[in-house]
Chain A
Amino acid sequence: MTPMIDVVFLLIIFFLVSSHLARQETQLELDLPEASSGVQVEVSTAPRVVINVTEFGEFMLAGRQVTAEQLQQQLYNRIRKDGRELEVRIRSDRNIAFAKVRPIMLACAKVGIWNVTFAVYQAMEDPQ
């Protein structure tokens, strides 16, 4: 009995760990801004583009570094495919200058995306 339990446990752990790692890979680790009025991320199948802005001001789209022009082109392609309901989620480091995030918002506005959201961490208390 004992070896069987051992093996079963090991299998359970193996599958849990592998799924856990697979989920972590999708998110680049960033020092997001804090806000206390954030809402929980809804699990939905609505079309969504996540743009990561690293602490060096680089844009990461689907794991690849892109320039502002490429970003606009790709957003335009996505909007032709998915329509204007496309959600753009900006995951940006909190310490970089706003000038780095501005081109993203400008690109969204130019291609006609209004659904832009910011990823934040929940603040413990009101910002002071």
Chain B
Amino acid sequence: MRRPSVFHRDQGGLEIKMTPMIDVVFLLLVFFVWTASFHAVEYLLPSSLSQQLGNAAVIDSQAPPPEVEFEDVIVRILWQDDHVVWQVNGQDVLSLDEVKQRLQLVAGIKTDAPVILHPDEEVAVGDVIDVYDISRIAGFDKIQFAIAP
């Protein structure tokens, strides 16, 4: 009678244990790949007017100009020569960084002053949201849009 070799016995044992392990590892791999979300998480920019019902969010700029209060901060977002130009209270501002500095300066004095954004038609939504965002960062509570019908 031949004694089974140690080598053969070991190899057989290894084969039997290997296959289910590969199965399980594969399944785990598939499981994690599928459950991993490749979608970026979405956040919301709330309109600060949501808490104050009845406060006009949209100012009709075709109508007789509303009396511009001294405290209003009007940010115009203009589209000139294929790039974006900003104006804060009528003064040209060259960079978004500078807009931020000016807004922070005003916010330091009075945060309840409304910021009125008046973007040109051609300005991309992303650029408008940038200004909206820095107004929020600066600490303003009321951010409104001026819209010509």
Interface size on A, residues (CB 8 A): 55
CA–CA, A94 and B40, complex, Å: 15
Query: By the criterion of a CB under 8 Å from any partner CB, how many residues of chain B are at the interface?
Result: 50
Residues of chain A within 8 A of B126, CB atoms compared: 33-34, 94-95
B44-84 interface bits toward A, Cβ cutoff 8 Å, 1 = contact, 0 = none: 11110110111111100000000000000000010000000
Contact status A119-B125, CB under 8 Å: no
User: What residue in chain B is nearest A13 (Cβ atoms)?
Assistant: B31
B35: which A residues are within 8 A, CB to CB?
16, 20
The answer to whether A115 and B125 touch across the interface, beta carbons within 8 angstroms, is no
Is A62 interfacial (CB-CB < 8 Å)? no
CA distance A91 to B40 in the complex (A): 14
Whole-angstrom CA separation of A17 from B119 in the bound complex: 43
Q: Within the complex, what minimum Cβ distance (angstroms) separates A121 from chain B?
A: 5
Q: A1-33 toward B: CB 8 Å interface, digit per residue (1/0)? A: 010011001101100110010001001000011
Give chain B residues whose Cβ lies under 8 Å from the Cβ of A120: 42-45, 129, 133
Is B121 within 8 A of A114, CB to CB? no
User: Secondary structure at chain A's binding surface: helix, strand, loop or mixed?
Assistant: mixed
Q: Which chain A residues in 94-128 approach chain B with CB under 8 Å?
A: 94-102, 105-106, 108-109, 114-123, 126-128
Interface centre among B43, B47, B119 (most CB of A within 10 A): B43
The yes or no answer to B94 lying at the interface (CB within 8 A) is: no
Distance from B127 Cβ to chain A, minimum over Cβ atoms (Å): 8
Q: What string of 1s and 0s marks CB contacts (under 8 Å) between A62-95 and chain B? A: 0000000000000000000000100101011111
Contacts of A119 in B (CB 8 A): 42-45
9 A–B contacts, CB within 8 A, in A order? A2-B23, A13-B30, A17-B34, A27-B39, A84-B53, A106-B58, A114-B47, A120-B133, A127-B130
- Besides the contacts A99-B121, A118-B129, what 19 more A-B pairs have beta carbons closer than 8 Å? A2-B23, A10-B27, A13-B34, A16-B35, A20-B37, A33-B125, A35-B133, A96-B125, A97-B124, A98-B119, A98-B123, A105-B147, A115-B49, A116-B57, A118-B45, A119-B42, A119-B43, A119-B45, A122-B40
